[in-house]
Structure 1
Amino acid sequence: MQFNFKEIFTVFMVLFAVIDIIGNIPIIIDLRKKVGHIHSEKASIISGVILILFLFLGKSILNLIGIDVNSFAVAGAFILFFIALEMILGITLYKQEEHTADTASIFPLAFPLIAGPGSLTTLLALRAEYRVENIIVAIILNVTLIFIVLKTSSRIERFLGQNGISIIRKVFGVVLLAIAVKLFTHNIKDLFL
């Protein structure tokens, strides 16, 4: 095993930007108001398990349906591009169904809000460039941060205020947009070789 702190930090930041747990605080608070209580531990653990399983099984699943990692990464770049546009422009391209069930900690919180199409696609793209052990460490760090944010979401919202959350969301949107462009240009070349 070769742990590389630069790789761990890069992967952590990419996943942090894609998952956008800070930007999702308003959604989490709204969900908490609707269902009463969110199980932070359950949501964090389930999302972590989904992310790690997809890291290992994602490529096999893609091979099974005849899609290579580069094609998936290019598709992922488009998803990241649109997520970034949502964050920067404050628009909603993805419409979420309303849930009032007790299972809100799993759906829609753990999946698709935390471990959604963007983060799963990103994981496969990251796997093509970074070592698996560094990605796992970055996932664990992100899940830990997600747990902390879920536990303290109302306090964070009061501290940052609407303007603070909006600024953070836009900054991470620009970072995500740059990541999407890099992902697209890196993988599109491999498709034509």
Structure 2
Amino acid sequence: MTLSFKDILSVTLILFSIIDIIGSVPIVIDLRRKMGHIQSEKATLVAGGIMILFLFFGEALLGLFGVDVASFAVAGAIILLLMGMEMILGIELFKSEPTESNTSAIIPIAFPLLAGAGTMTTIISLKSTYETANILVGIIVNLIIVYIVLKSCGWIQKKIGPGGLSILRKVFGIILLAIAIKLFKENLGL
């Protein structure tokens, strides 16, 4: 187990792009308006638990279905490609299911907003390129960022403004497209 600052930084930036907590600020603000208080600590811990469990047991789960990591990585690359297109073009390809329970927004924030299909796919895809320890540190760094953003999303909204949030989503969309192309190349042997 060797920790690499470069790999940790890469994993952190990739997960930051996928989790897109900055781009999710408008959603979090809307949930806060609808549901009142958001339990930032619980939402962060639940999302972290999902990510870490999938990091360690995701491959075993895939094995139950007879799917190898390279195939899952290519499938993940397709999802990342679509998510990047969604962010750049401002369209909605992935529909989120409404929830009826009022759990202080833990459910829609922790899953699927933070630890959704894109995040889990990315975590498995990252295992084909990076060591588990570096991915784990990247997850923890992102959870710290997520917690800070959840706690201060009102302040962020005032400082960045709608134009700034739009620019950030487009920039991270382009990064996701580049990551998707890289995953295609590495896992298809191009």
2:116 matched residue in structure 1 = 116
Report the residue type matching 1:69 in the other structure: V
1:166 matched residue in structure 2 = 166
Of stretches 11-20 and 106-115 in structure 1, the one that deviates more from structure 2 is 106-115
Cα shift at 1:102: 2.2
Q: TM-score, normalised by structure 1?
A: 0.95
Report the residue type matching 1:82 in the other structure: L
**Following the alignment from structure 1 to structure 2, what is the Cα–Cα distance between the partners of residues 97 and 130?**
32
1:95-131 deviation per Cα after TM superposition (whole angstroms, max 9, x unaligned): 1223353225331110111001111011111111111
Q: Are the aligned partners of 1:35 and 1:100 in contact in 2 as well (CA < 8 Å)? A: no
1:143 matched residue in structure 2 = 143
Give the unaligned 5+ runs of structure 2. Answer: none
Q: Are the aligned partners of 2:55 and 2:123 in contact in 1 as well (CA < 8 Å)? A: yes
Report the residue type matching 2:124 in the other structure: L
2:102 matched residue in structure 1 = 102
Of stretches 30-39 and 153-162 in structure 1, the one that deviates more from structure 2 is 30-39
2:126 matched residue in structure 1 = 126
1:11 matched residue in structure 2 = 11
Report the residue type matching 1:119 in the other structure: T
Q: Are the aligned partners of 2:38 and 2:106 in contact in 1 as well (CA < 8 Å)? A: no
2:60 matched residue in structure 1 = 60
Of stretches 78-87 and 102-111 in structure 1, the one that deviates more from structure 2 is 102-111
Q: Are the aligned partners of 1:34 and 1:100 in contact in 2 as well (CA < 8 Å)? A: no
2:30 matched residue in structure 1 = 30
Cα shift at 1:154: 0.7
Q: TM-score, normalised by structure 2?
A: 0.97
Q: Are the aligned partners of 2:35 and 2:105 in contact in 1 as well (CA < 8 Å)? A: no
From the superposition, tell whether residues 178 and 108 of structure 1 become closer, same or farther in structure 2 (CA, over 3 Å).
same
Cα shift at 1:29: 0.6
**Following the alignment from structure 1 to structure 2, what is the Cα–Cα distance between the partners of residues 155 and 106?**
20
1:49-86 deviation per Cα after TM superposition (whole angstroms, max 9, x unaligned): 11011000000000011111111111100100111011
* Number of residue pairs aligned between Structure 1 and Structure 2: 190
Q: Are the aligned partners of 2:77 and 2:184 in contact in 1 as well (CA < 8 Å)? A: yes
**Following the alignment from structure 1 to structure 2, what is the Cα–Cα distance between the partners of residues 86 and 112?**
16
Matches within 5 A, 1:37-52: 37-52=37-52
Report the residue type matching 1:155 in the other structure: W
Q: Secondary structure at the match of 2:41?
A: helix
Give the unaligned 5+ runs of structure 1. Answer: none
